[in-house]
Chain A
């Protein structure tokens, strides 16, 4: 059994503190759901665990079986068994899916995978996830629909077999059929040697992939933890009742779209 332990984690983005002391213990065999209103730090938590350079850990610790995760580079974190299924996977022109997937699989193998075995494994998984047969030859996520990108994240998870999978809104952009395909894939990975942390707004995903632990993250802190009953309560009542418990909640700032054509001067005038 492996344990991912997060203690008193504080994370800044630029000058702003987003996570204000997170404590979380995840053991293999468990499925954790993290819920909470937008803009309160859920994605930040997952990105900080993976090591995105934009997120600065100012204090606290993350350990995996007593190994210090925070001192590892992003690729080392991946190779020790962490995986982040991203909310917005990058599109990388020129890099084919098959070159990328092969390189990623080989990164954790002592001997490179044989071409035959690679193609067989890839084809099998592409079929199970009901993906485009041409996927291997297409450029990484380029021109993929939202749903295809999410399925491609799940495909990578299946090929790389992480111990700890962090899935950031993996259900957004999926239609009902695709949601079933993806949740079946996550369920098929469930074992004593696999743990998953899911961030989502929708009960539907948690209905299909039943979490063992549910946490509510508000204003950079986990304010409540429990079982599946929390999912149901939030689905029925939203987050208002949490405010009534005296917990301050961050409202997501209204996003002003900046249109490419608009000139820089105008924007700065508006903000004065």
Chain B
């Protein structure tokens, strides 16, 4: 089942190891699992990955100096598939990526991303992990140049018997680097979710900031949820903060909405939508918003 639609002028679609469809501008080249961006004007591109059972897929993106790219990425993975992506952002590259995981009914999928940012590079990523599947994901960001800036937002739903694990790392390897992650999850039924948020500032990286928030809202008594913030800091002159929490939906919020006539289910849906929605703000795109709303309706109550 092809659970994606193409509506950008530029796109590239992979089925297992093959590129099956593409429309790329002149300054973007694809060759042997390597996508290189050299565009002088900002562009938006859609990338789609369809991986069958047991397929092990790797791809590298390189963003040359001063490129500006918005990417809308859809992943549809089958059982035991494994997806590995490396992104290299050269100096001053500005990249916004919205990832949606539309996998269905799969037992296990592994996703790993490594993102390397050089001087003044900016990467803002949004991950919508609302798939009907168990997932093990690792998203690792390395700030390798001064003033590099990484912001990561996640919206995760774990329901029925799904088991989801995510590790998000932002590692500061140069001074004056900025890292921020906001990971929000909702767990219902017998769903399980663990979020490990890790901020690392190595020695000598003065003037850096590392911030993180990890929050999980739990709907049912059989859910298992854990939000773990880690800060490893080996330098004095830095700013760092973390917040983590696992809790129920605020009863007073529900009461307020119900007192205006919304059923409990409608109220929960509205609150959940508001809670997870910031993830789509990474890229301004109407199609994304509509799609996200539709997918979220399965949160139900």
A94-B275, A94-B278, A103-B266 given; A160·B256 CB < 8 A: no
Question: Does B263 lie at the interface of the complex (its beta carbon under 8 Å from any beta carbon of A)?
Answer: yes
Count of chain B residues with a beta carbon within 8 Å of a chain A beta carbon:
23
A53-B251, A75-B264, A107-B266 given; A92·B274 CB < 8 A: yes
In Å, the complex CA distance between A77 and B277 comes to 30
Question: Does A136 lie at the interface of the complex (its beta carbon under 8 Å from any beta carbon of B)?
Answer: no
| Chain A residues within 8 Å of B262, by CB | 75, 103-104, 107
Q: In the bound complex, do residue B274 and residue A156 qualify as a contact, i.e. CB atoms below 8 Å apart?
A: no
Q: In the bound complex, do residue B260 and residue A95 qualify as a contact, i.e. CB atoms below 8 Å apart?
A: no
| B259 CB → nearest A CB, Å | 5
| Chain B residues within 8 Å of A52, by CB | 255
| Chain B residues within 8 Å of A103, by CB | 257, 262, 266, 270
| Chain A residues within 8 Å of B258, by CB | 73-75, 78
Count of chain A residues with a beta carbon within 8 Å of a chain B beta carbon:
29
Q: In the bound complex, do residue B271 and residue A107 qualify as a contact, i.e. CB atoms below 8 Å apart?
A: no
A53-B251, A90-B252, A103-B266 given; A74·B259 CB < 8 A: yes
A94-B274, A94-B278, A99-B270 given; A107·B255 CB < 8 A: no
A53-B251, A74-B258, A75-B258 given; A94·B264 CB < 8 A: no
Q: In the bound complex, do residue A89 and residue B261 qualify as a contact, i.e. CB atoms below 8 Å apart?
A: no
In Å, the complex CA distance between A42 and B277 comes to 39
Q: In the bound complex, do residue B257 and residue A100 qualify as a contact, i.e. CB atoms below 8 Å apart?
A: yes
A95-B271, A100-B270 given; A90·B253 CB < 8 A: yes
In Å, the complex CA distance between A96 and B255 comes to 17
Count of CB-CB pairs between chains A and B under 8 Å: 76
In Å, the complex CA distance between A99 and B271 comes to 11
In Å, the complex CA distance between A107 and B267 comes to 11
| Chain B residues within 8 Å of A104, by CB | 257, 260-262
In Å, the complex CA distance between A206 and B253 comes to 30
- List which A84-117 residues lie within 8 A (CB) of chain B: 84, 86, 89-90, 92-96, 99-100, 103-104, 107-108
Residues of A within 8 A of B (CB): 50-53, 73-75, 77-79, 83-84, 86, 89-90, 92-96, 99-100, 103-104, 107-108, 139, 156, 160
Mind listing 23 A-B residue pairs with CB under 8 Å? A53-B251, A53-B255, A73-B264, A74-B258, A75-B258, A75-B267, A78-B260, A78-B261, A83-B259, A90-B255, A90-B256, A92-B256, A92-B271, A94-B273, A94-B275, A94-B278, A95-B270, A95-B271, A103-B270, A104-B261, A104-B262, A107-B262, A160-B260
